[in-house]
Amino acid sequence: MHANYHSHTWRCHHATGTEREYVEAAIEVGFDILGFSDHSPYVFPGGYCSGHRMYMRQTADYFRTVLSLREEYRGKIEIHAGLEIEYYPKFFKETLAFLADYPCEYLILGQHSMFNEIESGAFWPGSPTSDVRRLEAYVNTVSEAMEREKFLYLAHPDLLNFTGDGKDYDFWYRRLCRTAKACDLPVEINILGIATRRSYPDMRFWRIAAEEGNRVVIGVDAHSPAQMRDRNAYEKAEAIAAEAGITPERILGIN
Ligand SMILES: [Zn+2]
Ligand SMILES: [Zn+2]
């Protein structure tokens, strides 16, 4: 694997390891490009701070640290500074305005929480559900985000853990794949999901993405430096792509 743009750090409060430890691990396994994409801070009302995201006040230090490592490791590995962000329609504009003051090179869209974590009606798409309204809400929200903002790619598109009717799964996820393709946005086979045996990557989704001709990226989604070294999980991601019928030339960043 040549490039990984999906890595977290201790700053999001649910990952471990300093930026330097991730850089050292990435060099050790032979990456040429390492992108940091820790969980973005959000401009919530009333000064609310999420307990599992970077705090707003940590943002300056995060970018300063990554950019200084970029200089230090120049010639050994190419380092990029980005963020993984949720699409919270109510706070998106304010959050982007806040981030505009920082040298953020890219945003990865990762929708772990619907509609946002402080509002009634919010839910976690990763929890199993047979409620088609949740699947619909997830696909519509992610689609709106892709059409509204330019992202590097869509992380774990298959996160919504739908246990209901296969026809509904096909209908809504096919819609998501078509929107991603129309927006020219790659979809990610997520290695963290493989390494921690989550419901994603979901073969049902990857068969649809293969049929729809989506561009694909493999993302480590490292939450520890050790996870960066998990070559076995990376090979499984390639096997999933192959089983789904996704040809290697449609997978970005592998050579
Ligand atoms: Zn995380
Ligand atoms: Zn992530």
Res 253: pLDDT: 66
Q: How far is the CA of 47 from the centre of ligand 2 (A)?
A: 24
pTM for this model (two decimals) = 0.96
Q: How far is the CA of 38 from the centre of ligand 2 (A)?
A: 7
Q: Which domains does the chain have, with CATH numbers?
A: 3-252 (3.20.20.140)
10-residue block means of pLDDT along the chain (255 residues)?
Answer: 94 96 97 97 90 95 98 98 96 97 98 82 87 96 97 97 97 98 97 94 98 96 96 93 91 67
Ligand nearest to the CA of 83: 2
Ligand nearest to the CA of 221: 2
Question: What is Dmax (Cα atoms) for the chain?
Answer: 52
